[in-house]
Each structure stands twice: as C-alpha cells, then as structure tokens.
Amino acid sequence: MKELMLKKIKSLDLKIAVIGLGYVGLPLAVEKAKAGFRTIGFDILQDRVDMVNQGINYIGDVVEEDLKQLVENKMLTATNDFTCIKDVDFVAICVPTPLNSHQEPDISYVVNSAKSIAKYLRPETIVVLESTTYPGTTEEVLKPILEEGSDLICGTDFYLGFSPERVDPGNLIYKTKNTPKVVGAVGEDAAEVIATVYKTVLESDVHIVSSPAVGEMEKVLENIYRNVNIAVVNELAMLCEKMNIDIWEVIDAAKTKPYGFQAFYPGPGVGGHCIPLDPYYLSWKAKEYNFHTTLIEASMTINHKMPEYCVERMSKILNKFKKPLADSKILLLGVAYKGDISDYRESPALKVIEELEKHGSIVNYFDPYVESINLNSVEHKSVQELSVELLQCQDLVVITTAHSNIDYNFVQENSKFIFDTKNAMKHVLNRKNVERM
C-alpha cells in the first residue's frame, strides 16, 4: 500500500477531502489544491459550502483570488454530502474541539466526523486528524470508530495519523504554507506517507514523531507553554499595580537579555481557539492517571480571573471621579481576541462585557473588524465610528484589543479617561488621562 500511495502523491493523483472549512480547514484545502491535488471541502454549514463554490472567501488567511481561481479550475469544490469520502484517498479532519458547559473536552465533532467517514471509508485511504485534542484521541477514539464502522484494519487497509494544526490568524509571516508540520501516525509506513503529502503541499519542514499521542501532547504543550507564561506576567501585573511599578517597563527591560527570556505580555485574559482550551484538555486527561496538573491549573485560574480583575481596576478608576460602575457609560475598544483580526472566539473582552453588565454598566464597543457579536444569545453591534461626540460622552474608554488601525492619539485627545489593558497607547505622547494595566 505504501508504494502505491507514494506513487499517487508523486503524480498528484491523490484526491483529498478536508472535513471542516473554518480557520484551519479552508486554508489547508486551498494549499492542497494549489499544490495540484483535487480537493473537496466538507462542512455542515450550507453558507460556507455555497461561499466556497462561488469563490467567496470568509477566512482572513486565504487570498480570495487564489480561492476563485481554484474553484474556476475545478481544483477545489465544497459539499455537505459525506458520500464524497468514497471517492478520495486522503481525509483531513479539521473540526472544532470546544469545551462543554463543565469545562470538559467536547470531541463530539471528531466522533461524528469519524462515524460518517467510516461509512464510506475504502481500502488504501489515509485519514489524518488535525483538530487539537487530548493525547490518545487518535488511537483510543478515532481508530476503533473507523475500524468498526468500515470493517477495515488500520495499518493494513488504511493509514491513520495525527498532524496538529498550527494556525495563527493574522500572522503576517507564518501561514499554513510555511509553518513547520508535525506528523505522528499508527505505523512507520503511515508516517512516511502522511509526511510525504505535507512535504508536497507545504514550503516548510515536516517533523515525524513516533506516535499520534506524541503529536497530540506536543500540540497541547505549545499552547500550555504560552498559557503558563501569560499567567506569570498577568500575576506580576497585578502585583506591580500594588507596588506602583510599570509592568510594561519591567518586561521591556527583561527582554534586553539575549538568552533565557522570552517576552510575554499581560492583558484582560486569553482568547482564541487554543490557549484557553488546551490546558483543560490535558488536565482532564491527566485525571485518568490520577495525576493533577497543579501548575497548569494554577495558570488557568490566574488567566480566567483577569477579566474580573480588569473590571475591578475600572471600578477604582471611576471611583476617582465619584462614579460607580452602575449606570457608567463604558466603551470597549476591540472585542477580537487579538489585534487586527475578526476572530472573537473565547475573547476575554466578552467576559469583560458580561462582568460590566452584571454591575449595571452601560457598555458599548467599537471594533473595525467585528461588526457584531452574539453574547448569551443577545446580539451586540459595534458602534459605527469613533466620533468626538461618542468618546466625550463616555465615562471610561477601555482598550481590550490592540488593533493597529485605531487612531489612539484621537482617542486620547477626546476621552475623559482611558484604561489601557494592552499597552496600545505606548506611543501616545500625552498619557495624563491614561492608566495602563
């Protein structure tokens, strides 16, 4: 089987399916199609399917002209019909892996995808999970579903592996095409074949590890590393505020050391599809081994309380003007989880809004990238523009996302007071009415 698959890859005869056309799946499908592989994208959302088939892009990291050309040349199509699996040689699963209401892993999208794939899985097919998950998912969950549902044997009739997505929305340097890839598979032959596919598609190194579990653990390590270090600076920021020390100046000084230090920055919390979720995936799995991830859980606690801490700081600021949180007009600048993107998944700004509304504040937001948000089944819309009148009538302006296309000098000149949680106003000369995290 290995030689046949390698021959198909070399001749670009491999037909590919990408399950899930979101922030991970669509860029991956586009790159596979650009490499010369006929690619089918699958998504349960009809509007995504329709947009792809019309060549309309909805993901920031995809170039719309590339998408249009691939669709016109019939190199990329989209569908919500799982029977397409019977006609492909390679299946990449790129579905969400959120947390449930109890902060436990919800891999139902992976499970449901696997069950659907199994119905149409044929011999000499490669299945790769790209969704972030806990160590053991590929072999303990995916493999039995695929084998039982297809009557095929993993390693003999089909190949199975894990290759974690590495997507950083808005990154101007590293995209899907040039970000190094990790591959772990069930068996050496599977690892070689899967790695060859990615080497053909990408302009980056492909690192093979000994098993899917190593790849799964590697992925959560990447984001737990960031979560823990962000928690350290968040805790120091809270201490520095009490000690009247500028945490931003401290970090700038520390990062002059050319070795042994990497700069991380405080903020109103952590957001996105990985950093707030991955620690929960690992801590949940660790309990199966009667092991408690003490440091990781402590970092989760610190980062989780940052929105509440920010609201406490806002309350102190308003108290200086003899204003309570209740009925105060507060404008948030930015609800995306990071600067210059439209993604607001798990954004700490949402938790800040919730906390302020609990205290009776009148909250609005401005975000040039996010027209509206759905918060607890209630739609909130961004104000249309940052006018002088809007800023002057606010009791407090809070910077929760550091977008680069906002005129912070204009904000400073026309606001009563500003609480900057992201150090976005570091280049503003007059900061008399600004308090930083």
Q: What pLDDT sits at residue 61?
A: 87
- Overall average pLDDT of the 378-395 stretch: 96
- Overall average pLDDT of the 213-231 stretch: 97
Domain containing residue 348: CATH number: 3.40.50.720
Residue recorded with tokens 């069930």: 186
Are residues 401 and 339 in contact, defined by beta-carbon separation less than 8 angstroms? yes
- Overall average pLDDT of the 369-392 stretch: 94
Domain boundary pick from 304, 326, 349: 304
For residue range 78-120, what is the model confidence (pLDDT) as tens digits?
999 999 999 999 999 999 999 998 889 999 999 999 999 999 9
The domain in which residue 84 lies consists of: 2-210
Q: 135 and 185 share a domain?
A: yes
Q: What pLDDT sits at residue 219?
A: 97
Q: 106 and 253 share a domain?
A: no
Domain boundary pick from 304, 338, 360: 304
Please indicate, yes or no, whether the overall pTM of this predicted structure exceeds 0.85: yes
For residue range 225-281, what is the model confidence (pLDDT) as tens digits?
999 999 999 999 999 999 999 999 999 999 999 999 999 999 999 998 889 999 999
Q: What pLDDT sits at residue 102?
A: 87
Q: 382 and 414 share a domain?
A: yes
For residue range 154-194, what is the model confidence (pLDDT) as tens digits?
999 999 999 999 989 889 899 999 999 999 999 999 999 99
Q: 64 and 204 share a domain?
A: yes
Q: 94 and 112 share a domain?
A: yes
Q: 243 and 360 share a domain?
A: no
What is the rounded average pLDDT for all residues in the chain?
Answer: 96
Q: 270 and 174 share a domain?
A: no
Q: What pLDDT sits at residue 290?
A: 96
Q: 57 and 192 share a domain?
A: yes
Q: What pLDDT sits at residue 60?
A: 85
Say whether pLDDT at 315 is over 90. yes
Domain boundary pick from 269, 304, 339: 304
Of all residues in the chain, the percent with pLDDT exceeding 90 is 94
- Overall average pLDDT of the 355-366 stretch: 97
Q: 399 and 423 share a domain?
A: yes
Q: 321 and 374 share a domain?
A: yes
For residue range 59-85, what is the model confidence (pLDDT) as tens digits?
988 999 999 999 999 999 999 999 999
More confident residue, 11 or 377: 11
Q: Which active-site residues does the annotation give? A: 274
* Number of independent structural domains in the chain: 3
Say whether pLDDT at 144 is over 90. yes
Q: 384 and 292 share a domain?
A: no
- Overall average pLDDT of the 194-203 stretch: 97
The Cα 298–Cα 34 span in angstroms is 44
- Overall average pLDDT of the 380-384 stretch: 95
Cβ neighbors of 327 (< 8 A, separation 6 or more) are 360, 361, 362
364 forms beta bridges with: 331
* Band (31; pLDDT cuts 50, 70, 90): very high
Q: 176 and 88 share a domain?
A: yes
